Every structure is written in structure tokens, then in C-alpha cells.
């Protein structure tokens, strides 16, 4: 009865931590493609190939449902995977959905025409690949009208977080926020469109100011997954053992993950 959680590196651990707290009875198999991180600087085909390979590994581990806890994979690969690759008895979901549900205050299954929403000016902070894909803007346009999205590619932030250099990460966040505010001086809301960014949420909030509502993904994804599994309990796969898998060096990734979550995490080779 395992559910798979995939990320290109360590960022998805923020999502894993939230879903484990929300669904403690569900075993999760986490796979980090640490050998190929970061995805945010790769082209769409490369991201697709890496994401499908990782997702297949999670299917093989007994997960019938896989969450792409990686915005770059969700943006560059998910739609293509769902249309032409995912087997009929499996499901792969991304992390944009809960964000857009929260922003538009409508359920994903609501297929009524786009309508006005309260928030008109939205700042999107994401990796270069996610920004290039325009996936967030595309999905938002299906559900809302009159929303102006200003995207800022946050180069270097993921690398700094993965390297444990939070001083550099904080400086980069402030620089990227300054760059966005020059283009959109008064955003009403900000989307942290990378699962690494919750670790910097306080820095984003401080740089943006108290009047900007900052949407982070981990808790939104956890609530959305809990709702999904209530409606589709048969989507929990056959696996029964929780596990942490990596394509990188297990000892090195375990040490980084332990620092990341501040509790001991032990990875195995994928």
C-alpha cells in the first residue's frame, strides 16, 4: 500500500515530511535522482527521460500512485507522461494542482469555464526550466481569468540549498525577489514553485513584505493527497515498506537528507 514520491534531489523531502505527518498510516517510497540533480537547467526531453525512468522504478517498488514532488518534472514531463506513457492501472500526479486549487478556490475536477478570482497579480518563483515551460500559467488560464503572472527564474538557489550553503541561498532569494519586484512592484500573492523553496519561505516572505500571501507547496500537497486517497483508496499500491532510494551516493545523500530534515534518514541505492 505504498505511494511513491519523486524528486530530482532533496527538495521533495519537504513534501514527504508533510504527507507523512498528514497520512502516518501510509508507507511512502521516496526516490531522489541525486545523480542528475538539478533538473531546472535541463531541457524538456532530458527531464522527461529521467522522470519516466524514476517513475518506473517506483512502479516496480509497488507504488501504483506516484507524486512528482518536483516542479520542473511536473512542468516539463507530466502532461506528456499522462497522455502517452503512464499505464492505465497507474497514476502520476504533479505538485501544481494543489497550488492552483488554493489560488483559484476551486477543485481540480471542476471543469466549468474560467472565472474571475480574487488574486490578480501573482509572482511565481521557480527554476529556469519551470519558468520556460509556462506550465503554471497554462494550467491557471484553464481555471481563472484576469490573473497577471510574473515569473522569476531563480538560478542557483537549488544548488545552494543542496550544498547546504543557506547563507548563499538567502542572498540569492533576496536578489531574485528584488528582480521580480522591479517587474511587478505590488504582487498580491507569491508562488514558491520549487519544493526546495519552503526552506527559504521566511526569507521570501521577509523580502516580499507582510502584505504578500506566500503559497508554499508541502502542506497543500499533503491535504490534496489525503483528499485524493479518500476518494480513490484503491490507488494505494501493493508495496508495504517505506523506503528512501537514490541514484546518487547513498551515504552522502543520507547525510545531506539528515541535515535537510533534521532527523536521521538512510538512503539505499535505487
Helix, coil or strand: residue 131 = helix
Over the stretch 10-34, which tens digit does the pLDDT of each residue have? 989 999 999 999 999 999 999 999 9
**Cα–Cα dist 141/113, whole Å:** 10
Same domain, 205 and 245: no
pLDDT value at residue 41: 87
Give the chain's mean pLDDT: 91
194 is catalytic: yes
154 is catalytic: no
Instruction: Count structural domains, the chain.
Output: 2
Same domain, 161 and 233: no
Same domain, 101 and 203: yes
Same domain, 109 and 154: yes
> Catalytic residue among 173, 194, 221, 270, which?
194
Same domain, 137 and 201: yes
Quote the domain boundaries for residue 186: 97-215
Same domain, 87 and 104: no
Same domain, 49 and 122: no
> Catalytic residue among 13, 16, 58, 70, which?
70
pLDDT value at residue 236: 82
CATH number of the structural domain spanning residue 149: 3.40.50.1860
| 205 φ, ψ (degrees, to nearest 5) | -60, -45
For the whole prediction, is pTM greater than 0.75?
yes
- Residues of the chain with pLDDT > 70: what percent? 98
Please, how many CA atoms are within 13 Å of residue 181, restricted to the half-sphere of its CB? 13
Same domain, 211 and 223: no
Assign 259 a pLDDT band (cuts: 50, 70, 90).
Answer: confident
Over the stretch 90-129, which tens digit does the pLDDT of each residue have? 999 998 888 888 888 776 566 678 888 889 999 999 999 8
**Cα–Cα dist 14/5, whole Å:** 11
Same domain, 147 and 176: yes
Same domain, 79 and 112: no
Helix, coil or strand: residue 151 = strand
Same domain, 104 and 78: no
Over the stretch 163-210, which tens digit does the pLDDT of each residue have? 889 999 999 999 999 999 999 999 999 999 998 898 899 999 999 999
pLDDT value at residue 111: 67
pLDDT value at residue 112: 75
261 vs 64, higher pLDDT: 64
Same domain, 165 and 104: yes
What is the pLDDT averaged over residues 133-148?
Answer: 88
On whether the CB atoms of residues 143 and 104 are closer than 8 A, the answer is yes
Residue with cell 541505492: 269
pLDDT value at residue 123: 97
Amino acid at each position: 500500500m505504498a505511494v511513491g514520491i519523486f524528486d530530482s534531489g532533496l527538495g521533495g523531502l519537504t513534501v514527504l515530511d508533510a504527507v507523512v505527518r498528514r497520512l502516518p498510516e501510509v508507507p511512502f517510497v521516496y526516490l531522489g535522482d541525486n545523480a542528475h540533480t538539478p533538473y531546472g537547467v535541463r531541457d524538456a526531453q532530458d527531464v522527461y527521460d529521467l522522470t519516466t525512468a524514476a517513475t518506473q522504478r517506483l512502479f516496480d517498488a509497488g507504488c501504483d500512485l506516484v507524486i512528482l514532488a518536483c516542479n520542473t518534472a511536473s512542468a516539463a514531463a507530466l502532461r506528456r507522461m499522462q497522455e502517452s506513457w503512464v499505464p492505465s492501472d497507474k497514476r502520476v500526479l504533479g505538485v501544481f494542482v494543489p497550488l492552483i486549487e488554493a489560488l483559484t478556490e476551486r477543485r481540480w475536477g471542476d471543469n466549468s469555464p474560467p472565472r474571475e478570482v480574487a488574486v490578480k497579480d501573482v509572482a511565481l518563483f521557480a527554476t529556469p526550466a519551470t519558468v520556460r515551460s509556462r506550465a503554471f500559467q497554462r494550467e491557471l488560464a484553464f481555471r481563472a481569468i484576469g490573473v497577471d503572472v510574473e515569473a522569476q527564474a531563480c538560478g542557483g538557489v537549488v544548488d545552494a540549498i543542496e550544498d547546504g550553503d543557506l547563507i548563499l541561498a538567502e542572498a540569492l532569494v533576496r536578489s531574485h525577489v528584488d528582480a521580480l519586484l522591479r517587474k511587478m512592484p505590488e504582487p498580491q500573492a507569491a508562488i514558491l514553485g520549487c519544493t526546495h523553496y519552503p526552506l527559504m519561505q521566511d526569507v521570501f516572505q521577509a523580502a516580499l513584505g507582510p502584505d504578500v500571501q506566500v503559497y508554499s507547496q508541502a502542506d497543500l500537497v499533503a491535504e490534496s493527497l489525503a483528499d485524493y486517497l479518500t476518494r480513490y483508496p484503491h490507488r494505494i499500491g501493493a508495496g508495504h515498506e517505506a523506503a528512501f532510494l537514490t541514484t546518487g551516493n547513498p551515504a552522502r545523500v543520507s547525510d545531506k537528507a539528515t541535515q535537510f530534515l533534521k532527523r536521521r534518514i538512510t538512503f539505499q541505492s535505487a
